[in-house]
Structure 1
Amino acid sequence: MDDAVREQAEREAEVAALFNALKHGSDAQVGAVMGPLMGENPAFREYGDQIAGVIAPVVNRVNELDEAEKRERLAELDPEAVADLEAEPDDEHPLPDLPNVEEYDEVRMRLAPNPNGPWHLGNARMPAVIGTYKQRYDGWMLCRFDDTDPETKRPDLDAYDAILDAIGYLGFEPDEVVRASDRMEHYYDRARELIDLDGAYTCSCEAETFRSLKADAEACPHRDKDTETVLEEFEAMVDGEYRSGEMVLRVRTDIEHKNPALRDWVAFRMVDTPHPREAASEYRAWPMLDFQSGIDDHAFDVSHIIRGIDLQDSAKRQRFVYDYFGWEYPEVVHWGKIQIDEYDVKMSTSTIKELVESGELDGWDDPRAPTLASVKRRGIRGQAVVDAIVELGTSTSDVDLAMSNVYAHNRELVDDDTDRAFLVRDSVSVPVSGGPDAGHPPVHPDHEDRGTRDIPVEGEVLVEEGDLPAEGERIWLKGYGPVRYDGETFEFTDESIDVVREEGVDVVHWVGSESVSVRMRTIDGDVTGQAEPGLADYDVDELVQFERVGFVRIDAHDEDETVVYYAHP
């Protein structure tokens, strides 16, 4: 990061931290500053792994000021921000109010995942936002698996449980869980009722033929069938008497509607491919998502729907069905797409599945995969993902989630409880003379009561090649003391810490001759190194911060090595 970018980041961070602290009447938080900073300054994103380190000391300085000093400093840096602060409502909710909640006895919302694979990070937005609204309004939340497409988006039998695990990882629990494929008879009954209301008709037009008619706002010849014939043909669909493409059931709308996408849309179609769930494998007449979802939203008394802006036509299609039945349509909030930085792998279920099946990824929890299983295995808390996503709001504009913001939130959650350790990569072994037999760095720099670690020296230490000083120069081995390099050996000099403060001697991490071999799995591939011996005492799933490297989760202790997953700096 060049000096100009660093200065801009420090300036923007100070304004944001001052505003955040004054608004909430408490200390500013790095995560709360990081989100808006990255969102409003695209130029910072390529430095995502460095920005948090720039922001943290700025936030600490701001938090040392009293309220009057903070307000005075903010007025100096950004007078308009002070005016905004005065006008800012006392609202602690990061999300906008849901529309018309006062008109409902209970806010009832639904997650509607397609179980065609485990969740990538983009999928987390749905439970993060809807779950947060549920908590805010003390509402009710359904998880409905929309699994009525056994062919194009074929369900993955393992995905049902994987998605429920992901929702739990994010900190939420649905009040009810259903599979749409278990509700086929309900959809058939509603279709029969719709036919009786003259709201649907069977159509055997070839797809291209109907497409041309629809484009010209012309009715197909089947539109005027009598109800009895339509019911008979629909029952034949239910009985599986037609092949794929031979017959559909259409909702009768306005064939001259200004939006061709809304003209007599398909409610049911024939699918020859059996559903992978045995309980649903006999069905051949399957509802389209707009019909199935609309019927279920009413059946479960959903009050508010949150869906992508690309699904605006879904609500319009479903309103035709609701009008036939005389139902009130739920409130709808549309949001834009979400993009996530940092990963080379495309955030797409089908793409990730192909890479896993080909062996290019080790699994859905490979650290290179932009999935919830991956970030969980890396030791990132689900709450950090939720906090970063919720800060993006529900704008209809496309939004970018910076993983550095997820990391900033996670750092706040785990830093205080996470012990420190040393990991040396690209190591150089150097003999040591004249010093103590062991080093004793603190377990945690902010908690003296946790004691110190014991790192035996036994005549030599390992340091990273880049930390090896020039001949005649000194370094400070953290927790051990100052040594001078004579070109072959580290000679202990027994000087005070003043050499670091006053003479700029570098403080470096190190390990002794007794060490643990480590394989660290990262987004960019595996990294090997040697860690201090105490690392072997940590349990699987525990977090450790490798000083000057970052947070890691202990994944496995093998006979030859310890495997850890890198979380973030």
Structure 2
Amino acid sequence: MDEDLRDRIKEQAEIDALYNAIEHESEAQVGAIMGPLMGENPEFREYGDEIPGVIAPVVERVNELSHEQRRERLDELAPERLEEIDAEEEEDDQALPDLPNAEEGEVRMRVAPNPNGPWHIGHARMAAVVGTYKELYDGSFICRFDDTDPETKRPDLDAYEQILDAIEYLGFEPDEVLKASDRLETYYDHARDLIDAGGAYTCSCSGDDFSELKNAGEACPHRDKDTETVHEEFTEMIEGEYSSGEMVLRVKTDIEHKNPALRDWVGFRMIDTPHPREEAAEYRCWPMLDFQSGVDDHLTGVTHIIRGIDLQDSAKRQQFVYDYFDWEYPEVIHWGHVEIDEYDVPMSTSTISELIEDGELDGWDDPRAPTIESLRRRGIRGEAIVEAMTELGMSTSNVDLAMSSVYANNRELIDDETDRAFFVREEDGGAVEKSLSGGPATASVPIHPDHEDRGTREIPTDDGVLVESDDLPPTGERVWLKGFGCVRHTEDRFEYTGDDLDVTREEDVDIVHWVPAGENVSLRLRTPDGDVSGYAEPGVSGYGPDDRLQFERVGFVRIDAVDEERVAYYTHS
């Protein structure tokens, strides 16, 4: 390889490394830029074995630059590549597609939770997207609690307020809040109108009998009852004269429809179990979700509905009701399910409830639980969740949410304002105590490395230090105690060497955190992997509940309790 070619490779590699580092806001990797380098420069390919060695020093120099320095350098070498990144960022600012047939100021959407428990992380997606669309279109949205199943999805009385709190935590406020269980008389009135329109009939067939008829495309023997009889029997349903399973009101569709699921579906059924809300406890005749939701979407002026791809039949069922009433159906956007990585606990309200009841989780805010309450207690801001959810877009395929994206968003929000501190974990080999020989009596460490004006933390060293066992160097080797200086490990102590900071770069001396052995703060750190006990530097005692800290080399935390025991919740790295 001649020098001219070598220089060309270095020049292109610097551009690709800068682009890679800026785009991902992280260090560039040789492997990551090899593909673009070879793909865009076919003449380099025959030297593929030599190129990694040529470009490695170039990548290393790029990684030593700050983000702003990288931008300035790329603007100098290849301004069009920087414009490309900026254009992509502008597109990413609105990851959501435009709503179909939407008019500014006229969009009205809904979040329709079942209040059978607090929200897990997956529930946040609907509120995040609907709330964002409201802002984009200067529209409005409703929170409608679909609580018309007091038996199989029995409402939890606390969940109504917990869900509204979760929506507020995400940064949104519904323009209207409704409970379907308050609206039974409205559904009854529309059922009566549907009967008058010839669109519904009462049916006392057993479930098995009707299923057999339906699958054969044969009409139920009750299908042609006269309107007066249907009204009488529906009134008896409302008055509670039937038990569960004895009578239903069916929406008359097409008994020979190619999709059996759409054939004469149930609009109302009897439920013996009283509703937990006192205002609804006397009702026994309850609408099915497709009837209730369909009526409510029309009456509340919903213009756009988002629902799971697995619920496509809902729109088709409801369309029959809309046709009877000559209503216009809202625009529908279907999306796939969202899966969350990182958690061992399933993202299921019923499963989480069972684990709490069995004592395997402490509650909905246990850091091991994939719930909104858990993320909030860990110190993650709702805005970080919203941004991650909207970045998923609206694909009809199932999508994966990496919690790392939530953490990255949150890190950007809190890093600049969060003070630093040291925390030594008492785990595995435990914290190791060492006396100090020589060096300053007090270490001086910045409260925040990027803000000198915030001052320093003065940490005493008179009584020696505690370090994590993994950070203890072999006897005779050196380590740099952050804020104190370089020490050599002897058999029973650390001896101050006075070496310059350059030894950490030129001689691979590790930089480690530590706390004073005598004056420190016992603290329990609650993490998704379990609790960790340890010791924090003395200044941590000055922080109270809801304060955030970054324990250097450990991660961000939120102080939770300071009374009988000092407790912090791990946020993320």
Both proteins in one fold, TM over 0.5:
yes
Q: Which residues of 2 match residues 105-184 of structure 1 at below 5 A? A: 106-184=106-184
Which protein has the larger Cα radius of gyration, Structure 1 or Structure 2?
Answer: 2
Matched, 1:444 2:445: no
Q: Which residues of 2 match residues 391-430 of structure 1 at below 5 A? A: 391-425=391-425, 426-430=430-434
2:326 aligned residue: 326
Q: Which deviates more, 483-492 or 111-120?
A: 483-492
Please point out which of 513, 523, 532 is paired with 2:537: 532
1:100 aligned residue: 101
1:6 aligned residue: none
Evaluate the alpha carbon distance shift between residue 366 and residue 142 of structure 1 in structure 2; reply closer, same or farther with a 3 A threshold.
same
CA shift for structure 1 position 70: 5.3
Residue pair 2:25, 2:67 contacting (<8 A) in 1 also: no
Residue pair 1:543, 1:553 contacting (<8 A) in 2 also: yes
SS at match of 2:217: coil
- The alignment-based identity, stated in percent, is 66
1:49 aligned residue: none
- The amino acid of 1:185's aligned partner reads E
CA shift for structure 1 position 340: 0.2
Gaps of 5+ in 1: 1-9, 21-27, 38-53
1:7 aligned residue: none
1:236 aligned residue: 236
CA shift for structure 1 position 494: 2.0
Q: Which residues of 2 match residues 104-503 of structure 1 at below 5 A? A: 106-425=106-425, 426-503=430-507
- The amino acid of 2:473's aligned partner reads P
Residue pair 1:470, 1:487 contacting (<8 A) in 2 also: no
* 1:95-140 CA-partner distances (Å, limit 9, x unpaired): 00000013x8610000000000000000000100000000111110
Structure 1 distance, partners of 2:275, 2:87, is 58
Residue pair 1:341, 1:403 contacting (<8 A) in 2 also: yes
Please point out which of 544, 548, 561 is paired with 1:556: 561
Structure 2 distance, partners of 1:337, 1:85, is 31
- The amino acid of 2:463's aligned partner reads G
Runs of 4+ in 1 over 3 A off after TM superposition: 10-18, 57-63, 65-68, 70-77, 84-92
Q: Which residues of 2 match residues 43-122 of structure 1 at below 5 A? A: 63-66=68-71, 69=74, 92-102=93-103, 106-122=106-122
2:521 aligned residue: 516
Structure 1 distance, partners of 2:221, 2:165, is 49
Structure 2 distance, partners of 1:162, 1:88, is 35
Structure 1 distance, partners of 2:520, 2:467, is 12
Structure 1 distance, partners of 2:403, 2:211, is 43
CA shift for structure 1 position 504: 2.0
1:25 aligned residue: none
SS at match of 2:523: strand
CA shift for structure 1 position 69: 2.3
- The amino acid of 1:528's aligned partner reads S
Structure 2 distance, partners of 1:524, 1:338, is 23
SS at match of 2:305: strand
SS at match of 2:446: coil
Structure 2 distance, partners of 1:11, 1:112, is 49
CA shift for structure 1 position 88: 10
How many pairs are equivalent? 523
SS at match of 1:233: helix
CA shift for structure 1 position 495: 2.3
Structure 2 distance, partners of 1:209, 1:89, is 58
Structure 2 distance, partners of 1:121, 1:13, is 36
Structure 2 distance, partners of 1:71, 1:226, is 83
Evaluate the alpha carbon distance shift between residue 331 and residue 208 of structure 1 in structure 2; reply closer, same or farther with a 3 A threshold.
same
CA shift for structure 1 position 15: 5.2
Evaluate the alpha carbon distance shift between residue 67 and residue 306 of structure 1 in structure 2; reply closer, same or farther with a 3 A threshold.
farther
Evaluate the alpha carbon distance shift between residue 65 and residue 431 of structure 1 in structure 2; reply closer, same or farther with a 3 A threshold.
closer
- The amino acid of 1:481's aligned partner reads G
SS at match of 2:445: coil
Gaps of 5+ in 2: 1-13, 33-58
Evaluate the alpha carbon distance shift between residue 173 and residue 511 of structure 1 in structure 2; reply closer, same or farther with a 3 A threshold.
same
Evaluate the alpha carbon distance shift between residue 127 and residue 531 of structure 1 in structure 2; reply closer, same or farther with a 3 A threshold.
same
| TM-score for both structures, normalised by structure 2 | 0.87
SS at match of 2:415: helix
Residue pair 2:252, 2:265 contacting (<8 A) in 1 also: yes
CA shift for structure 1 position 64: 2.4
SS at match of 2:152: coil
Evaluate the alpha carbon distance shift between residue 85 and residue 474 of structure 1 in structure 2; reply closer, same or farther with a 3 A threshold.
closer
